Structure 1
């Protein structure tokens, strides 16, 4: 009796071991560009029986169902609407053990960790894949300002970036035609003493709250005739840099 039970146990154990599998995925995050496409690898070395095979892709932070393979076919009707017609299986590769997902038109909301989970009749496994947005630095605000001497003017400069404020090492405003440093932000501080004496006490950034939003516009008070010209706002973050320019035109008041 005991021998028969042991045989059945070893038979069951051998079936589980034979049907056991291990999912493979990338060890490093996948770096993608917004608007581009990316393949999220998920595969086994030995093909699995397709009977009762289920493949489930989810975004881990929200448990959003990205895509589902069930009952021998893709189930796009089960997808979260945000991934509809953007997330696809390589259908012909499923039977070969390739459960990778192809994601098109990547958005910022797509960035995060994804789980590829595979279920068979006797076993299951999962692997995690992270998508990261490629670092970029975009500075906007270029425009022409027309004002009169004695007025206050605002020179716009905004950082549109996935880089957090603490990683922005420096923002400088310079008057290009004279190569004068007008205003400097460096390592989290506004260094007003670095301003050229002609601009000292007349220029300022907006509030710290605005800088937290990436706004590094400069307010120039009591504009003088010598202030007219071309200004450049330069932003530095590690190996990345970007800039925008603003031209200031000044007129004179005429009194009758």
Structure 2
């Protein structure tokens, strides 16, 4: 894998200013005894009744995910067979990214539009890299929802994140517009386009106007992931 931390992707996890925490509602973390000054809205009434004393809810801000990986597992866009297939390359890219980012001590999450609509969020008590790798070892391109229609975009928009990486063989320009719409302030955008034509699929001759600040990698059959070249032009892949 290329180093996703440099040069423009070095923003991943390198700054603490990525929007106000008020944009992301806190999660209930547990309960404790009521303390004078706690608001009534903080009181956990069912547990207070059970324990016969006032109990207050405790809150934690959701973990900021340094990188969200959006993996396209729509069966309609994948081509090739076994190890020489777009889905195998896409899954391998996702695994490599997750391992690289986690090895830097950073948080990584994964969303896939497979048949189950998989979402793997970082958790304080779980090694998320292990969960992601275990999932990627068995996942399949069995989804029936195009990348442009998945609910993942709305979920990503509502979660703290520093970078979004899309892995897809889809040439539909609709997901490009959605990616731009959810980016947020200072979020890094990374795209891995797995070219289906090199895996026996149709030559889609897509045109991606990603803009100057998006890192685009074009991945073809036989490519060495470590030698992928980043480009930030408005790209026409031919």
TM-score normalised by the shorter chain: which range applies? under 0.3
TM-score normalised by length of structure 1 = 0.24
Higher helix share: 2
Higher strand share: 1
Q: Which has the larger radius of gyration?
A: 1
TM-score normalised by length of structure 2 = 0.26
| Higher RCO (CA-CA < 8 Å; seq separation 6+) | 2
